Structure 1
Amino acid sequence: MKQLKDKFWIWGHPPASCNDYNVGENKFDVTPAQGARYMGAKNIFYVAFGHPMDISEYSKDMQGINMVGLAVENWGELKADCLKKTLELSKQFTKLDRLVFDDFFGAVGAPYRMNWLDYTIEELVEMRDKIHEIGCEMWVVLYQAQCNDERVSPYLDVFDGVSFWFWNEPTIIEYHKSIAWLLENTIGKKRLVGCYLFNFGLNKPATPELVKYQLDCNRLLIKNGQIDGVILHNNALGGMNLAAYEEAKKWMDEFGDEQID
Structure 2
Amino acid sequence: MHESNDRGLNRRLFLQRTATTAAVAGVASPFAPSAACWGSTMPYENTLRDRLWMWGHDSGSLRPGYDIGGPKDVGPGEAIEYMGIPNLCMVRFTGTPLPPFDDYVKQLAHAKRLTWSIVDGAKNFTNEQKKDQALELVPKTPNLIGFDLDDFFVGNAAPQTEGGEANAHLSVDQLRGIRKEMDAQKRNLDLSLVLYTSQLNPAIKSHIDEVDSVYFWTWRASDLPKLEENFAIYRKIAPKKPTLLGIYMWNFGEKKTIPLELMKHQCRLALKWLRAGEVEGLIFHCTPLCGMDLEAVKWSRDWIARHADEVVRA
CA 1:64–1:215 in 2, change beyond 3 Å: closer, same or farther? farther
Identify if the C-alpha distance between structure 1 residues 254 and 119 changes in structure 2 by more than 3 Å, giving closer, same or farther: closer
The one of 92, 115, 119 aligned to 1:69: 115
TM-score by length of 1: 0.88
Name the counterpart of 2:195. 142
Counterparts of residues 87-102 of structure 1 (less than 5 Å): 87-102=135-150
State the secondary structure of the residue aligned to 1:59. helix
Deviation at 1:118, TM superposition (A): 5.3
Report if aligned partners of 1:27, 1:240 keep a CA contact under 8 Å in 2. Answer: no
Q: From the superposition, tell whether residues 77 and 88 of structure 1 become closer, same or farther in structure 2 (CA, over 3 Å).
A: farther
Q: Find the residue that maps to 1:259 and give its secondary structure.
A: coil
Find the aligned partners of 1:62 and 1:146 in 2 and give their Cα distance. Answer: 32
The AA in structure 2 aligned to 1:183 is R
Structure 1: 4+ residue segments shifted above 4 A: 73-77, 115-118
Q: State the partner residue of 1:86.
A: 134
User: What amino acid is the match of 1:15?
Assistant: S
What one-letter code is carried by the residue in structure 1 that aligns with 2:173? E
Aligned-partner Cα distance in 1 for 2:123–2:205:
30
The alignment yields a C-alpha RMSD, in angstroms, of: 2.4
Structure with greater strand share of residues: 1
TM-score with structure 2 length normalisation?
A: 0.74
Aligned residues: 254
- Pair 235,118 (structure 1): closer, same or farther in 2 beyond 3 Å: closer
Aligned equivalent of 2:60, options 16, 38, 41: 16
Partner secondary structure for residue 103 of structure 2: helix
Query: What residue identity is the alignment partner of 1:247?
Result: W
Give the 5 Å matches for 1:104-119. 104-107=152-155, 117=168, 119=170
How far does residue 155 in structure 1 lie from its aligned partner after superposition? 1.6
**Larger RCO (CA under 8 A, 6+ residues apart):** 1
**Equivalent residue for 2:104?**
58
Partner of 2:183: 132
Q: Which has the higher helix share?
A: 2
CA contact (8 A) 2:51 2:280 kept: yes
Structure of larger gyration radius: 2
Shift of 1:50: 2.6
Q: Percent of pairs identical after alignment?
A: 25
Give yes or no for the alignment of 1:207 onto 2:259: yes
- In the alignment, is the contact (CA less than 8 A) between 2:191 and 2:212 conserved in 1? yes
Tell me which residue corresponds to 2:13.
none
| Structure 1 unaligned spans of 5+ | 109-114
Structure 2 unaligned segments of length 5 or more: list them.
1-44, 157-165
